[in-house]
Structure 1
Amino acid sequence: MIDYAKVRRMMVDNQLRTYDISDLGVLSAMNEVPREIFAPADMANLAYSDRPLVIAQAEDGETRHFLAPMVFARMLQNLDLNAGERLLILAGALGYEAAVAAQLGVSVSIVEPDAALAEKTRQNLAQAGLSDDVTIIDKPFDADFGVADGFDAILVNAAVEKRPEALLAQLADGGRLVTVMGDGGRTSRVTLFVRSGEVIGDRPLFDAAAQPLKAFREEPGFVF
């Protein structure tokens, strides 16, 4: 029988600490949350792999996946979250990212437009004892989520091929958005966007692989 607590400690020590992740809150949260309960039962033994892992498929064929632990942790670290801030997560791995973020004292909402996956997310969060700590929003990924003052932080647990303007418009002043920019392949990079007044700057951080979201795919251009 696998000792998942031991495997989690190994993930933190061997994958995260060696990948420039030093935020004690992030390290503690990822050591605390049982990643395996958010994976299908027959994939639990793969949950701590150092590679991206597809764990579910929506009715429209789009997948949900774990990012590599070091990629997700470094994205979370770069959001520099403070207790009480409002965090929006898109394309989450059935609640895992929300469970980790909730350990940091932020107010977490997940966007999950697929009814079956939203229900599975609720079940996973209940198993983790977090039913009352996370809000699930059943809207498309590029929708207006109706938060008047905007979100303090947005984490897209996937790749986007184009600048996600619909999401950037929903950042509060000082808000941050982190995502993988590109088609999810070798040239893709985790990018941090920061809003200052009406200006939104961006900064590439590091290379990463992720599944692209259909809602933010680049439209094919004409070839002459």
Structure 2
Amino acid sequence: MTDFQAARLNMVESQVRCNSVTDSRVIQAISDIPRERFVPQSCQGYAYMDEDLKIADGGREGVSRYLMEPRVFGKLVQLAEVDSGDLVLDIGSGTGYSAAVLARLGSAVVSLECDEDLAKRASSTLNDLGIDNAAVVTGPLQQGYADQAPYDVIFFNGSVEDVPKAILEQLKDNGRLVTVVGDETAGSAMVFVRAGDDTSGRKAFDALVQPLPGFQREKSFVF
């Protein structure tokens, strides 16, 4: 067993399983994907630590990008209840780790990324790993990707202050959208379910993860 394989096994046992992730398909998918391939080479030794790992500095919007910590990521993926026949939209997929895991669970993944450099890295890594049911597309994250809608599952790979109505409308009937809603100080993991023209949301657990660019509310000034 290589050092990375041992680290991955330890991550699953000490960070994922022990934090209420019980779905065997989710555990297997996280066990199968080499997380170290989705971080900068200089950070590979830290790939399995229980913390958000920076993969890119802030771009035009000044929001740095991170690989979500394994503990929260596993719980969010489980919350999405991805079935083997599901079409998944992965928003803010970064270097493609979340897309790789979701591709093991669903039928196909549309991996949406706003940063062209990250998107190229994601495409290259997914191709190198032989993951052929995940396609990387580029565009503004806050618009979703209507071209392939509707989706069975929409997964946000980071936190948002609000979920745009335009993205909720890209869900199929009975489709699920999973994200962390909050800011830099507090957040809640939420699952939204569409029923006809209505969408309802419920809080699943407290969570604090790094924000995705494009979802920040405009700040108001008081004079």
Task: Place the TM-score, normalised by the shorter chain, in its bin.
Answer: over 0.9
Q: Structure 1 residues 58 and 128 mapped into 2: Cα distance closer, same or farther (>3 Å)? A: farther
Give, in whole Å, the separation in 1 of the partners of 2:26 and 2:148.
Answer: 28
CA contact (8 A) 1:90 1:156 kept: yes
- 1:108 and 2:109 matched: yes
Shift of 1:213: 2.6
CA contact (8 A) 1:78 1:192 kept: yes
Q: 2:24 — aligned with what?
A: 24
- 1:92 and 2:93 matched: yes
Shift of 1:56: 1.6
Q: 1:78 — aligned with what?
A: 79
CA contact (8 A) 2:35 2:48 kept: yes
SS at match of 2:77: helix
Equivalent residue runs for 1:1-224 within 5 Å: 3-57=3-57, 59-60=59-60, 61-130=62-131, 132-143=132-143, 145-147=145-147, 150-185=150-185, 187-223=186-222
Give, in whole Å, the separation in 1 of the partners of 2:4 and 2:164.
Answer: 36
Q: Structure 1 residues 172 and 147 mapped into 2: Cα distance closer, same or farther (>3 Å)? A: farther
User: For residue 208 of structure 1, what is the amino acid of its counterpart?
Assistant: A
TM-score (norm 2): 0.93
SS at match of 1:184: coil
Q: Structure 1 residues 79 and 63 mapped into 2: Cα distance closer, same or farther (>3 Å)? A: same
Q: Structure 1 residues 31 and 97 mapped into 2: Cα distance closer, same or farther (>3 Å)? A: same
- 1:95-147, CA deviations, whole angstroms, 9 ceiling, x for partnerless residues? 101111111133101111222111111111122221x2211111111225234
Unaligned runs of at least 5 residues, structure 2: none
Give, in whole Å, the separation in 2 of the partners of 1:98 and 1:215.
Answer: 20
Unaligned runs of at least 5 residues, structure 1: none
Among the aligned pairs, what percent are the same residue? Answer: 36
TM-score (norm 1): 0.92
- 1:1-56, CA deviations, whole angstroms, 9 ceiling, x for partnerless residues? 96111111111111111100000000001111000010111100111111111112
Shift of 1:149: 5.0
User: For residue 223 of structure 1, what is the amino acid of its counterpart?
Assistant: V
CA contact (8 A) 2:88 2:106 kept: no
